[in-house]
Structure 1
Amino acid sequence: MTTTSHGAGAPPRPGSPATPGLGTAPGVRVRDLTVVYKTPLGELPALGGVSLTIEPGTITGIVGESGSGKSTLALSLLNAVQPPGRIKAGSVEIDGLGDVVELRGDELRRARGRHLGYVFQAAQNSLNPLKTVGKQLLDLGRSHGVEDRSALVREAKELLERMGLDGARVLDSHQHELSGGMRQRVGIMLALVLNAQLVILDEPTTALDMITQATILRIVREVHKERGLTTVMVTHDIGVAAELTDRLAVMYGGRVVEHGPTMEVLGTPRHPYTQGLIRAIPRLSGDIAEAQGLPGRPPTLGTLPVRGCVFRERCPLRMDICETVEPPPVTHGERTVACHAVERSHSTAEQEEYA
């Protein structure tokens, strides 16, 4: 069964909010976003002045090693960073909502679900084990003031059946009666059923077998296109990012170190960290020794340098300036890179070109 189309003049979906620009994929502008966590050593930064533009209607991937700040950035898009963390500075401007960082109370709660959808990394952790999926769906509808509960259930069944599941059976099931892939699809349904236009998926294929992973990716791609969404996907899997995303943001140490069209970033990576990530990918053919892991370990909250480049301890292009000055993000064309060595190389190439 396919999801019912709602064109111009058609009645709104059951969770439809009275939001300007409804049905239009929103753009997102993150500016100088700093998130800190309170620790015995004081407040330590998990995100250090991140700036990122997400174009309307795109699928943007956020990649990097564990601890790079990917999930913290994703949660910040919903102003959902929980104590002991907090957003210390910066803004997250979303079309139709304004600065999400400034939203509080009922206004923020209404924005989540009705405008912003989130699919959690561990799908089973986002479901109440004591309630059926259907009861949790009705709870969601009540919390967002949905009056037509029957229409909400019909929409949920359509979404689930669109994803290859028996909608009635799933709504009557508890989480332990569903497989990992089924729970992940339930998470996608709950993120979309109130007509969210910005959807954030946090590691949507983690711990799933290869066939189920492929199914989830196909569903994400199709639903993104059919509903006209802006989608953000957090993943540690470069292959998943290559298959699904339009643009890619590479994170390290709470910074976005490279950002641009996915095929350009993966085909001609400029930042030494991006190059190291790609070199570490195992090959199915050729010389196995060509896959080389990055030396050293990624920094933790307690070991992040307070000045200079966060990647310098593991960087083959390290220079004296990297010790004291944090490289600013520099944009050339559609690519943005934060690296002193890359920018110096680019400047040298330009000087030679015009000499």
Structure 2
Amino acid sequence: MTTTSRVPVTLVTRAAPGVEVRDLTVVYKTPLGELPALRGVSMIVEPGTITGIVGESGSGKSTLALSLLNAVQPPGRIAGGSVEIDGLGDVLTLGGEELRQARGRHLGYVFQAAQNSLNPLKTVGKQLLDLGRSHGVRDGRALVRDAMSLLERMGLDGARVLDSHQHQLSGGMRQRVGIMLALVLNAHLVILDEPTTALDMITQATILRIVREVHQERGLTTLMVTHDIGVAAEVTDRLAVMYGGRLVEHGPTREVLGAPRHPYTQGLIQAIPRLSGDITQARALPGRPPTLGTLPSAGCVFRERCPRRMDVCETDDPLAVAHGDRSVACHAVELPTPGVRVERATPAARVPSGAEEDHT
């Protein structure tokens, strides 16, 4: 990916941007001191792709997503690394008005709990106009027309929704409002944080269809944070698997799910309940995900739960090694895995603990 120098936000290109994350480290202040929620995360998001970020609760998915907007809030802070986005440069060097204008104009974010991103005291229409004014939109009527068009394409009555407060809308409707607000200023990098959480299956399918259609028609680069492997299998081109604040596997979705190489990715898929066949084939991952206080300071973060643990895992943090179009961070990845048979994930599959909210 070619990294562009930083330019005023009003002059950015409208082509789908690429993203390059380098050695990103995010820490949170705790009674035990500053502990890393992300440590040395590096990845490239190709322009025009949909990339899924999956992992159990506490793996660092949402922290990574917020870092792309330079939006990590205290007690967290970005302690190192860079986030280069085409047309903006390193987002971590932006601040003040420049950063505020980048959010919305260039970077769109759909929050995990849609109701938390809406003001309960204002109608959706008033919040839309506030958004436009804050970004210097002079033609409010055109903004409303664009918003209504987006809402109607998503199967909603645009006029009714804009005249409604959040409590008058269902969860699926609020989620679609969040997508509209993220797109109405023509942002071309869109981040969706658990866009289908707590939605019924029909509404979930509708949201995923909207994501695919809008991504293609508007020429977006999209990142989707999810616990749900089925969601990732349904809509993403590439998949990034996170554990304990590390990126452990990254590559084309079909390859990662069809032939996972990291023991954690294998464990996630093997834990998925089967809809047919021998249901006893599903095996839960042993142990529990680490917390900030239990993350090891050295060695592999997955070693306590890993069936292929070796002595080197105790002392050396595995580096991400490229294998064609994929990367895997595991000391044992080159060794054969006796008896492991991994099936392709089904659309109904979910990561264990998928109902939990990801606070990191």
Task: Normalising by structure 2, report the TM-score.
Answer: 0.90
Structure-2 residue corresponding to 1:326:
317
Distance 1:28 1:303 in 2: 31
Which of 35, 47, 59 in structure 2 is aligned with 1:44?
35
Work out the CA distance in 2 between the residues paired with 1:292 and 1:130: 47
Secondary structure of 1:134 counterpart = helix
8 Å Cα contact 1:117-1:199 kept in structure 2: yes
Shift of residue 345, structure 1, vs aligned partner = 5.5
Shift of residue 185, structure 1, vs aligned partner = 0.1
1:338 matched to 2:335? The reply is no
Out of 196, 199, 211, the position equivalent to 1:208 is 199
- Alignment match, 2:162: 171
Task: Decide which of 4, 9, 18 is 2:10's aligned counterpart.
Answer: 18
Instruction: Quote how far apart the aligned CAs of 1:21 are.
Output: 1.9
Q: 1:303-350: CA deviations, max 9, x gaps?
A: 00000000000000000000000000000110100000004559xxxx
Q: Does 1:289 align with 2:284?
A: no
Distance in 2 between residues matched to 1:48 and 1:311, nearest whole Å: 14
Secondary structure in 1 matching 2:195: coil
Q: In structure 1, what is the equivalent of residue 211 of structure 2?
A: 220
Distance in 1 separating the partners of 2:159 and 2:336: 59
How far apart are the structure 1 equivalents of 2:303 and 2:11? 45
Q: Secondary structure at the match of 1:26?
A: coil
2:120 aligned with 1:135: no
| Cα distance per residue 1:282-320 (max 9 Å; x no partner) | 111011111111000000000000000000000000000
Q: Quick one: distance in 2 between partners of 1:228 and 1:110?
A: 20
- Which of 246, 264, 281 is equivalent to 1:255? 246
1:330–1:343 CA contact under 8 A, matched in 2: no
Gap runs ≥5 in structure 2: 1-8, 338-360
| Residues in 1 aligned to 2:299 and 2:154: alpha-carbon distance in whole angstroms | 47
CA distance in 2, matches of 1:30, 1:326: 19
8 Å contact kept, 1:128–1:136: yes
One-letter amino acid of the counterpart of residue 228, structure 1: G
Q: Distance in 1 between matches of 2:282 and 2:335?
A: 28
CA distance in 2, matches of 1:246, 1:327: 25
Q: Distance in 1 between matches of 2:96 and 2:335?
A: 47
C-alpha contact (below 8 Å) 1:252/1:311 kept by paired residues: yes
- Tell me how far apart the structure 1 counterparts of residues 222 and 164 of structure 2 sit (CA, whole Å): 28
1:54 and 2:42 correspond: no
User: TM-score, normalised on structure 1?
Assistant: 0.92
What secondary structure, in the 3-state scheme, does the structure 2 residue paired with 1:242 have? helix
Give runs of ≥4 in structure 1 deviating > 4 Å: none
Spell out the pairing of 1:1-355 with structure 2 (5 A cutoff).
Answer: 18-22=10-14, 24-343=15-334
